[in-house]
Structure formats: structure tokens, C-alpha cells
Amino acid sequence: MRIFRRKAQIIFIISFFIIFMLGQAAFAEGGFISGKVTKSDGKTPIAGARVVAAQRTDEVTEAGFGISTTNSAGEYVIENLLTGIYEVIASFPGFADATKSNISVVSSKVTSNIDFVLLAYGSISGRITENDGEAPISNVEVMAVDVAVGVNLSTSKTDGSFKVKELLPGKYTIRADIEGNTFSPIKDIRLEEGDDIKGMIIKAHKKYLGQISGNITEQDGVTPISGAEITKIPQNAELLGYMRIEDIYSNPDGTYTIQDLPGDTYAVQAHKAGFGIGITLVTLPEDSHVQNIDFLLMTPGSISGYIFEQNGSTPIDGATIYCKNNEFEGVPIAIKDISNAEGKYTLNDLSAGVYSIQVKAEGYALEFKSNIDVVSGEETSGRNFILGTYTGSVSGVIFDKITGEPINNTFIMVTPSGSVSEGTCGDNFTSDGLYLINGLKAGNYIAKVGAVGYKTHTEEDIIIQEGVIANVDFYLERE
């Protein structure tokens, strides 16, 4: 019996020793990440910040993971991490999270100096009221918009108060929206780090902004045209990478009214099949009514041709053909066509003038022709396109000139330098500031870059070579 108990004790001691040693081995094999978390001055420590390290791997069950909290000096150490590549995130209430990627951890080693600087959030608060500036309006969605930072939302309370939180430094516009009312935005609010801007009053007025109205008649100036499609496009639509298109139709007596328009300069277009499209630029002040924007729709002309592959004989089916009237540079016209199985296209209902055409087809370079004359009642034929597969490219990042941060929602367009009437061109709309334009012939190009809230930037002498990606970054100034 004593012998049995003695053996049991020995087995217990050996088992305990083995478990202890395994634990020690596991601890010894773990890696470490250490660093410091401070405020934006890079000196003031943030105590109590949470730092998380997560290994990026497809094998979720084997992924390394660790958490630490900074001490009074802002220092942290994350222990017992598996060997691998980690993403580390530092966070603290009232501050924007900061992330560092591709942090390498090796067993028994310390990956040090993984430091973080956190930016303090700011806020903008105020009230939503009726036009008297007193009576509150509740449940209004309030947006703080900065084109370089993004959009943050809030909703007004019963007393009309709102507070948009977690705002990074920037230049904001405050907008509000609710059914049945419209609100004049508050623009150019400069928010520095940690600012708490108060006292913003956004007043409502009933759903009435600007209006544009007029008459549409045949070329005799008397016979009304009913059912003509009226399109409004902001003049700078192309360089902003979008088109706010809202169509209405003329009444039986030829009259029309476009309502609820913010102040802007618009290209107003009137179009009905069988007539040449009418175009005019209208500058609409805020909350005004511009009248007598009349159109005489004339006998139309047209442009036609074929779209071929680079061999000059194989037709391209499904290419999209766009056109612009050169008198209204930068304004797309509400007329386009799609090439058929024979590669043929026809742009009908064009008013007399000089036009440019762009052709887009999946897998081919974007081609253009300019200075195409259109005469009323005639077809301008033989405007053929040969689409190639060129290998020149340009890429880069579009930055805010002041902050150095990439700009959201930018548009870039490149065209050949000089007074050329045809060639390859390219465009790219990007949501994160990064752009890439492929399919360009070798040569010199001009780039135009635009974004809402920024001045249009033009860059000349961009050299494109076959098989080479030219790297060109842009820095835009705020308006």
C-alpha cells in the first residue's frame, strides 16, 4: 500500500513538472510588441489606451492575438504572440483610432517602438429651427461634410439640438435634410483638432430653392413643342466626375419649370426626337428664379461612322459614343449611341455646331475626335474610330495641398498636349485619391484634376511611354 502511494506521488510530481515546463516553453516561444501612445504633440502620454495586435492569416484558429493597456507613461507591451505579421490598433475614447500594419513578430523577440499618435476628435453642435430661428425641428438628419475627411451624421432632438461628434480636423459644411423642408447649409467651418464648436443655427424654409423656366418652340418661334426632355447638368460636372441629371418634360404649351435648384451654373438642355438639341448656360443665384430661358429647336444634323479594332476591319459591337458641343466645353450632351454588330453608330438630333466625340469600349483605349462640324439637315458621315490596346499608363495619388491627405471623390482626365484633333485619352473617378489610367499611346499629355470644394488643377507635359507606368501625384488647393 505504501509502495502504491509512493508511486502515485512520483507520478504526480513528474506530471506537474512536465506541465510546468511546457508552460514555460510556450511562454518562452512567444513574441512581444511594445511602444508608446501619445497625443498629437508626440509627447503627452495617453494612459489607459487600448492596444490590440491581431495576426492576419486565413487560419483563424491559429491566428495570434493580444491586448494591452497603456500605463501612466503611455507605454504598453503585448506578450505571448505567435510568430507572424500583425496589424496593431490603438484606441482611446475621444480620439481617432490609429493603425499600423505589417508588424513582424518573432518568437522570444521584442518588436519595439511601435508608437502611436492619436488625434483628438472635435465636434460641431447647434440647433435646427423653423425660419424664425426659434421653433425647434426634431428628427432632422444633420451632416458634417468635408470632402477630404468624409461625412459624419447626427439627428436633431426634440428641442432641435444636434451634435455631430468624432470629427477630424478639416473644413466642414453642415447640411440638414428632412421631408418637406430645405435648409441653407453653413459652409467653411474650420475645425481644428479637439475643437468643440457650438451655437450653429440652421434655419428651415419650405421646399423652395431656385427655379429656371422658359418656353420651347419650333424654329418659327411660335409653334410649341410638347414633351421635350429638359436636362440640367452643373457646368463643371465632367471634372467633378459625376452628373446630377434630373429630367422634366415641357407642357403642351411648350412651357417648362425646373424647381428646387441650389445656386450654381447649369447647362440646360432641351431635347426631343426629330429636333436639334438646344443648350444654354444659366447662372442661378441662390433662392432665385431665372425666367425666359427659351429654346428654338432647329432642324437637326447628325454624325455617323464605324468603330473598328486595331486591324481596321473587325467591327466592335457595343462601344459607347459620347459627344460634346465645343461651345460648352466640359459639358456632356444628353445624346449618345451604342455601336451595332457592324460597328456602326449614329448621333442624331444634334444642333448645328462643332462637336467632339469620345468612344469607350471594354478592353480598348479611350479614343476621341474633335472639331467635327454639324450642319442642320445634314449627316456628317465617315467619322470612324480604330480602337487600340496601348500599354502606356499614368498613376498616382491626389492630395489636399494643405493637409497632405488623399482626397475622396476626385476625377482626373488626361488628353494629348497641343492642338490635336484625335488620339487616345483617359479618365478615372476615384473615391480614395488613388488613380490609374491605362491604354494610352506614347506621347505628351495634359491632365485636369477636379474635386468638390477644390480648384481645378491642370498639369502639363506628362510624358507617357509604351509599357511604362508614369507616376504623377497632384496637390489640389481648396476653393
Burial class (CB within 10 angstroms; exposed 0-12, middle 13-18, buried 19+) of 284:
buried
Higher pLDDT, 7 or 219: 219
* Number of folded domains that form the chain: 5
Nearest to 225 by CA among 290, 279, 297, 301: 297
The beta-strand segments (E) located in 9-63 are: 31-38, 50-55
Task: Identify whether residues 418 and 378 lie together within a single domain.
Answer: no
Q: What CATH number is associated with residue 142? A: 2.60.40.1120
Confidence of residue 133 (pLDDT cuts 50, 70, 90): confident
More confident residue, 59 or 41: 41
Using one digit for the tens of pLDDT, what is the confidence trace for 68-119?
A: 999 999 999 999 999 989 999 999 999 999 999 899 999 999 999 999 999 9
Question: 409 and 371 in one domain?
Answer: no
Of 297, 321, 345, which residue sits at a domain end?
297
Residues 114 and 87 sit within 8 Å (Cβ to Cβ): no
Give the span between the Cα atoms of 425 and 446, in whole angstroms: 10
Q: What DSSP designation does 184 have? A: P
Query: Rounded mean pLDDT of the chain?
Result: 83
On the question of pLDDT at 224 being above 90, the answer is yes
The parent domain of residue 359 ranges over 301-386
pLDDT of residue 8: 43
pTM of the model: 0.54
193 beta partners: none
What average pLDDT does the segment 123-135 reach?
Answer: 88
Whether the CB-CB separation of 318 and 339 falls below 8 Å is answered with: yes
Q: 201 and 126, same structural domain? A: yes
Per-residue pLDDT tens for 355-376? 988 888 888 888 888 889 999 9
| Distance between CA atoms of residues 176 and 151, nearest Å | 12
Residue keyed to cell 429630367: 247
- Round to whole Å and give the CA distance between 470 and 474: 13
Residues 285 and 318 grouped into a single domain? no
The pLDDT assigned to 449 comes to: 86
Sheet of 141-146: strand order equals 150-155, 141-146, 170-177, 186-191
Q: How many residues does the chain have?
A: 479
Q: 256: pLDDT confidence band, cut at 50, 70 and 90?
A: very high
Given 386, 402, 422, the domain boundary residue is 386
Residues 26 and 110 grouped into a single domain: yes
Q: Which residue has the higher pLDDT, 279 or 365?
A: 279
The Cβ of residue 15 has, within 10 Å, a number of other Cβ atoms equal to 10
151 and 177 fall within a common domain: yes
pLDDT band at 28 (very low <50, low <70, confident <90, very high): very low
Last residue of a domain, one of 82, 117, 152: 117
**Phi–psi pair at 234, nearest 5 degrees:** -55, 140
Over residues 47-57, the pLDDT tens digits come to 999 999 998 76
Percent of the chain with pLDDT over 70: 83
* Whole-Å CA distances, 427 to 40, 259, 277, 356, 449: 38, 32, 26, 16, 10
Residue 57 and residue 22 in one domain = yes
Same domain, 14 and 97: yes
When pLDDT is cut at 50, 70 and 90, the band that residue 327 belongs to is confident
Q: Are 256 and 315 in a shared domain?
A: no
219 and 189 in a common domain: no
Residue with cell 467633378: 240
Asked if 361 and 307 sit in the same domain, the reply is yes
Any idea what the CATH number is for the domain that residue 80 is in?
Answer: 2.60.40.10
The answer on 57 and 139 residing in a single domain is no
